[in-house]
Structure 1
Amino acid sequence: MTSSEGNAQGDTPGNSQGDSRENSLPRALLLIGVVMAVVGSVGGPLITSVATTLHVSLAAAQWTLTVSLLTGAVSTPVLGRLGSGARRRPVVLGTLGVIVAGSVLTVLPLPFGVLLVGRAAQGCGLALGPLMMASAREHLPKARAASTIAMISVASTAGVGFGYPLAGYLTDVGGIRLAYAAALGLAALAFLAALRFFPASNQPVAPAPDAAASLLLTASVSVLLLVLGEASLWQHHLALAVGGIAAGLVLLGAWTLRERALPTPLVDLRLLRHRAVAGANAAMLVAGVGMYLLLSCITRYVQTPRVAGYGFGLSTFTAGLFLVPFSVVGFVAGRLSPWLRARLSAAALVTAATAVVIAAFALFAVARGTIAGPLVSMTLLGLGVGAFSAAMPAVILEVTPARETASAMGVNQVVRSIGFSLGSTLSALLLAAHTNPGALFPADEGFTAAAWIGAVVTALALGISFTLRPRRTVVATATAP
């Protein structure tokens, strides 16, 4: 019997210690997941305010968001491997300590460069999701672990909907430092919750990550995310952008070769041989493009002033409130996932969720003349993203050994980050292509084109989702002559 099985069996209703853990651990893990999503998203709505307050360009201020996404993506697989086994609790507490320290740097009235360092430290919180999932899988009974993992996955995306309006409101009230102070308070709360409730792992100590593999993966993901996230690079320096992608792929190839030569790789690439794992990551990449494309289009559309001939001229704070139904409905979908999983397979739920996202695209394409259209589209998007995020871990973990939970989910999170970056860039490029020379805002038709192209991209993810379903085995029966 493995330690994880022993823990699961020990947490029976008759065991008071097991009952306490079964009640407190899921809440603590979900709290940490939501807080880290909110802290990571704080930079998004503050870009313009950072530029005006600290007297830097908008391009420079954009880095307060980019650098956190970048550090989150590159630290996820490394911390996932480093935090495997007995090192999980120290890694989680150490990472949260770094986030708290970085949050302090964002609050202090120091130069812009120090703010960037703090935001980079905050981005490490995005790497904690897979470690939260690994802890749930080890220490909770199977059914409770599955529902907790689903909610952690939902929180990592839906939590953004709470961070945007919160940051916008606090900035209007007291400036950017007040918004960052709120993030500091939340980070400290997450640290205290982990210190009190996050358990030590009973699994053996895993080998430390290979330094060369870690550097190659960090370099490849960094290059890919930087190039994919720079829409202006694709607009004005296409050859350089293509060259950057090629360089990132070469580095990724070198990392793959290094991984295959290691007895204990950073990521067990053999898992990708399984059709469900490979298909899940492919679906996550493509669906991530579509989801973030629609999210970007809706938030930009509702903030466009009416003088452009469309839009509603909403403020940053009011536009941020548009993300509240996205998050609320996403959380509801996550909470309902155990009930849905009792009636649908995880793969079927992924398919249904992807279809809902396509419906959100179609609605935005044809019915955005009143504010109800974008609002309902955003709500449908939240429903689709919530159900998709809740089901995706189940697809992967059904065929993944318990010891590889953090590593496997870390890869899925990196794939999602790349998909989101692609979606953001594709949105900017499509709208720029429909912006007349000298005009400040794109033509309304640009949003229509972006919506239908996003629907087509998401339809590709829908097709991939059908490959996640287990194949039926046909048993031949002999017939009597």
Structure 2
Amino acid sequence: MSTKQSSLVRAPGMLARFLVFVGLVGAVIGSLGAPLITAVAEEYDVSLAASQWTLTIALLAGAVATPVLGRLGSGPRRRTVVLVILAVEVVGSLLTVILLPFAFLLVGRALQGSGIGLVVLMMAIARDHLDEQRAARTIALLSVASTAGIGIGYPLSGLLTDVAGVRAAYGLGLAITVAAFAAAVFALPQAPDRPSSRLDIRGAILLAIALPALLLVIGDTGLWRHHAGLAVAILVAALMLLIGWTFLEVRTESPLVDIKLLRHPAVAAANLVMLTGGVGMYLLFSLITRYVQTPAAAGYGFGLNTFQAGLVLVPFSLLGFVAGRMIPAWRDRLGARLLLAASTAVVLAAFVLFALARSHLVEPILAIGILGFGVGAFSAAMPVVILAVTPAAETASAMSVNAVVRSVGFSTGSALGGLILATHTTGVFPRESGYGAAAWIGAAATAATLLIIAVLPLKRA
């Protein structure tokens, strides 16, 4: 009997549902800070810039933790690692709810953010313990968990904040992390008996310095507008540290990330596509969410409050989830290249729609729904490319790198949108022409991603 056959679980449906639930928990936790920034500033009497850190610190913690968890979860201690991180999330969630100074809220959000990286371990568990067909479906859904989680976290946290205050919204995070930990105690299987590898501490520390620096400088629109020289210096320093980290990993016996796998043409191509595609996807997402919340007094926009803006994101999440469900059925017939190209074309259509028509609320809603379907399909197709050439034992590690690349792409897209709108701002709000310009620039970037997909060596799964 093969190792794969011997590790299959008796209740695969329940395990698959648990894995997707944990992925959704991480997505909701990661997005929880965004709708609460203003409410946190008022509740804790801090500036909006300080309050913004409740979102930023969680995302940074997730980006750093993901490759570390990917390596720790590749060995026989995976069940223990997952349970410990879920317990850490529970502690962090408790800190966000208890009446404590603002610094403790930031610590709690950082601890919550560390669990974002669990999604790659859920993919590894699916590949090890589910049959091939069910594993493909589960991994596809895990890939779109961040898309679906936004549509759950934004409106719920906005509603809870309006009704019962910011601590009630953070209470949502506590409830779902406790539920995830309790379910994990019963649902998590033991990892297959593989040799354990020593954690590359030097690589982890170097990455923990370089990656946050890179993400922070990319996403700080104000720094690029007012101190471009400093921004360039930090960017170059972060990139040099990442280059040094790469050389360190190549020469380390038990690296944090197996660079040899990343040099495979299909894996390298998939990560490049994820980077460029992520820029366009998050650019449009940020444009639409900002546009619908702009008060009509600016001459455009619809003045939606936090809860209403969250409801606008429901089509994004719903159609993204639908796309994730459909991708496994299309995989064998279309292949990875056509799947990625088709999903990128859908994103391009959403850009064009928003660029041409946004005077009625239904039009941005339609555009963000189309975007959600494209993002969901794109995200679900990405593991098809990477896992087709990746050994099962390296699933978590390989997908963790792709998750980090996606974070860099999303941060770049968000910052690019902010910079473009800033150049079209003379008063409080940007001129509406700025949204059109940003949409067409994003459409051009998405069209370039289509060209990259056409020429790069993507393996047919």
Q: What range describes the TM-score normalised by the shorter chain of this pair?
A: over 0.9
Aligned pair 1:443/2:431, yes or no?
yes
The one-letter code sitting in structure 1 at the alignment partner of 2:72 is L
Aligned pair 1:68/2:45, yes or no?
no
Alpha-carbon separation, structure 1, partners of 2:253 and 2:44? 49
Within the candidate set 263, 284, 287, 2:253 is matched to 263
Alpha-carbon separation, structure 2, partners of 1:468 and 1:303? 41
Within the candidate set 429, 441, 444, 1:453 is matched to 441
Query: Any gaps of 5 or more consecutive residues in structure 1?
Result: 12-17, 472-481
Query: Any gaps of 5 or more consecutive residues in structure 2?
Result: none
Alpha-carbon separation, structure 2, partners of 1:121 and 1:465? 37
Q: TM-score, normalised by structure 1?
A: 0.94
Q: Which residue of 2 aligns with 1:479?
A: none
Within the candidate set 187, 206, 218, 1:216 is matched to 206
Aligned pair 1:313/2:303, yes or no?
yes
Q: Which residue of 2 aligns with 1:339?
A: 329
| Equivalent residues in 2 for 1:79-94, closer than 5 Å | 79-94=69-84
The verdict on how the C-alpha distance between 1:104 and 1:288 changes in structure 2, with shifts beyond 3 A counting, is same
Aligned pair 1:304/2:276, yes or no?
no
Aligned pair 1:286/2:312, yes or no?
no
Q: State percent identity of aligned pairs.
A: 57
Give, in angstroms, the shift of residue 190 of structure 1. Answer: 0.9
Give, in angstroms, the shift of residue 218 of structure 1. Answer: 1.2
Give, in angstroms, the shift of residue 380 of structure 1. Answer: 0.4
Alpha-carbon separation, structure 1, partners of 2:268 and 2:148? 24
The one-letter code sitting in structure 2 at the alignment partner of 1:179 is A
Q: Which residue of 2 aligns with 1:206?
A: 196
Aligned pair 1:44/2:34, yes or no?
yes
Alpha-carbon separation, structure 2, partners of 1:468 and 1:442? 41
CA displacement, residues 323-371 of structure 1 (integer Å, 9 cap, x when unaligned) = 1010011111111112222421122111100000000000000010111
Within the candidate set 220, 238, 245, 1:248 is matched to 238
CA displacement, residues 159-187 of structure 1 (integer Å, 9 cap, x when unaligned) = 11110011100000011000001110011
Alpha-carbon separation, structure 1, partners of 2:400 and 2:209? 16
Q: Which residue of 2 aligns with 1:189?
A: 179
Give, in angstroms, the shift of residue 2 of structure 1. Answer: 4.8
The verdict on how the C-alpha distance between 1:78 and 1:470 changes in structure 2, with shifts beyond 3 A counting, is closer
Within the candidate set 379, 392, 399, 2:389 is matched to 399
Alpha-carbon separation, structure 2, partners of 1:156 and 1:444? 29
Alpha-carbon separation, structure 2, partners of 1:139 and 1:453? 44
Within the candidate set 272, 285, 289, 1:295 is matched to 285
Give, in angstroms, the shift of residue 192 of structure 1. Answer: 1.1
Q: Which residue of 1 aligns with 2:23?
A: 33
Alpha-carbon separation, structure 2, partners of 1:3 and 1:201? 11
CA contact (8 A) 1:365 1:447 kept: yes
Give, in angstroms, the shift of residue 453 of structure 1. Answer: 0.5
Aligned pair 1:118/2:108, yes or no?
yes
Aligned pair 1:152/2:142, yes or no?
yes
Give, in angstroms, the shift of residue 288 of structure 1. Answer: 0.9
Deviating more after overlay: 80-89 vs 201-210: 201-210
Q: Which residue of 2 aligns with 1:351?
A: 341
CA contact (8 A) 1:348 1:469 kept: no
CA contact (8 A) 1:361 1:455 kept: yes
Alpha-carbon separation, structure 2, partners of 1:462 and 1:25? 36
Deviating more after overlay: 199-208 vs 286-295: 199-208
CA contact (8 A) 1:81 1:208 kept: no
Moved over 6 A (4+): none
The one-letter code sitting in structure 2 at the alignment partner of 1:330 is G
Give, in angstroms, the shift of residue 5 of structure 1. Answer: 4.4
The one-letter code sitting in structure 2 at the alignment partner of 1:448 is G
Give, in angstroms, the shift of residue 407 of structure 1. Answer: 0.3
Give, in angstroms, the shift of residue 468 of structure 1. Answer: 4.4
Within the candidate set 152, 159, 181, 1:162 is matched to 152
Give, in angstroms, the shift of residue 444 of structure 1. Answer: 0.3
CA contact (8 A) 1:32 1:193 kept: no
Alpha-carbon separation, structure 1, partners of 2:458 and 2:24? 30
CA displacement, residues 246-301 of structure 1 (integer Å, 9 cap, x when unaligned) = 11011101111111111221111111222110111011111111111101000000
Larger Cα Rg: Structure 1 or Structure 2?
Answer: 1
The one-letter code sitting in structure 1 at the alignment partner of 2:121 is L
Q: Which residue of 2 aligns with 1:474?
A: none
For these two proteins, the number of residue pairs brought into alignment is 460
Note the aligned Cα RMSD (angstroms): 1.3
CA displacement, residues 428-461 of structure 1 (integer Å, 9 cap, x when unaligned) = 111010001xx00000000000000011111122
Q: Which residue of 2 aligns with 1:372?
A: 362
Give, in angstroms, the shift of residue 4 of structure 1. Answer: 2.4
